[in-house]
């Protein structure tokens, strides 16, 4: 998944908190100073950061721009949704783990138990190997022609099967190595749908978004934005700025990296996950 020029920064400290509590003004000002200085020093277009502190609640700060070039030049605001990129993978993995807890599937199931055969995909690979990048499957985003096609028609909606057409030979036999591959999570999304009879997007809502009240979080290209969206641009700059999810990018990346959210909801999500609210 290519990166945009905006970033979501999340820091949290584990313990109970109440969002309505008042965050210390002195610390808030210091956090804002650091955020501004780091953004400027690294030439980052815009950044949104949230910090959860026990007994004080959540501080959120923004710095820089949503769209930096006039006309119009648009400042970044706290309520703007930003693409969280490959942090989306953790959401997909948690859905899988929850489905195992519910007895719907096992992380040790093999691909052949849920999916048809695909070229360059060893059907003996397990779900666990997908989620931990031990499958050896070729990373479709390493195929240079894939990005050329995605760039050529930004309005195209991609299916997972179309993405799998860009695979090459595996890197290694399943379970014999480790290599990051976005393809693993395309297949994970397909398994979620095969196992539940519902879309992986719906299962995100059922298992994570809705129970946690994440009403500022949505899946780009698969559902309409539920609020203002920060501008995005292809990494490297020079291209146009988009103020809504780019259909070809976020449909093709799906469960790999298509979630949009705010830093406030990200800090709440991580707190809920690591405090045991979602999984045993």
Could you give the residue numbers annotated as active site? 86
Pairing label, strands 218-219, 82-83: unpaired
Q: How far is CA 46 from CA 32, 41, 107, 232, in A?
A: 13, 12, 38, 10
Which 3 state secondary structure label does DSSP give 134?
coil
Query: Is there a contact between 213 and 269 (Cβ–Cβ < 8 Å)?
Result: no
Those residues whose C-beta lies under 8 Å from the C-beta of residue 67, and which sit 6 or more positions away, are 73, 74, 231, 241, 243
Tokens 């093999």 found at: 110
53: its two tokens = 């502190």
For 110, which DSSP code? B
Q: Which helix (H) or strand (E) holds 186?
A: helix 183-196
DSSP output for 82-109:
EE-GGGHHHHHHHHHHHHHHTTS--TT-
Q: CA nearest 11: which of 260, 274, 280?
A: 274
**Helix, strand, coil shares of the chain as percentages rounded to 5?**
40, 15, 45
Q: How far apart are CA 52 and CA 59, in angstroms?
A: 7
For 196, which DSSP code? H
13: its two tokens = 């400290």
In sequence order, the β-bridge partners of residue 65 are: 75
Pairing label, strands 218-219, 259-261: antiparallel
């Amino acid at each position: 998944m290519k990166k945009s020029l905006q970033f979501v920064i999340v820091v949290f400290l584990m313990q109970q908190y109440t969002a309505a509590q008042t965050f210390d003004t002195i610390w808030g000002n210091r956090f804002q100073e650091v955020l501004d200085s780091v953004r400027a020093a690294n030439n980052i277009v815009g950044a949104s950061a949230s910090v959860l502190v026990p007994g004080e609640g959540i501080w959120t700060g923004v710095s820089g721009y949503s769209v930096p070039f006039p006309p119009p030049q648009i400042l970044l605001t706290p309520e703007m949704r930003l693409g969280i990129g490959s942090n989306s993978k953790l959401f997909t993995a948690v859905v899988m783990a929850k489905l195992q807890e519910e007895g719907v599937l096992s992380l040790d199931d093999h691909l052949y138990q849920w999916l048809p055969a695909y070229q360059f995909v060893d059907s003996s690979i397990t779900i666990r190997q997908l989620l931990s990048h031990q499958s050896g499957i070729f990373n479709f985003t390493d195929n240079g022609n894939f990005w050329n096609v995605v760039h050529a028609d930004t309005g195209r909606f991609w299916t997972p099967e179309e993405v799998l057409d860009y695979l090459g030979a595996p890197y290694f036999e399943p379970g014999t190595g480790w290599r990051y591959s976005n393809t693993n999570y395309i297949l994970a999304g397909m398994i979620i749908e095969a196992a539940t009879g519902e879309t992986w997007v719906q299962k995100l809502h059922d298992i994570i978004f809705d129970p946690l009240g994440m009403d500022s979080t949505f899946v780009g290209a698969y559902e309409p934005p539920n609020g203002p969206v920060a501008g995005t641009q292809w990494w490297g700059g020079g291209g146009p700025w988009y103020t809504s999810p780019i259909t070809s990018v976020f449909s093709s990346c799906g469960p790999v990296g298509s979630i949009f959210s705010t830093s406030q909801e990200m800090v709440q999500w991580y707190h809920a996950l690591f405090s045991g609210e979602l999984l045993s």
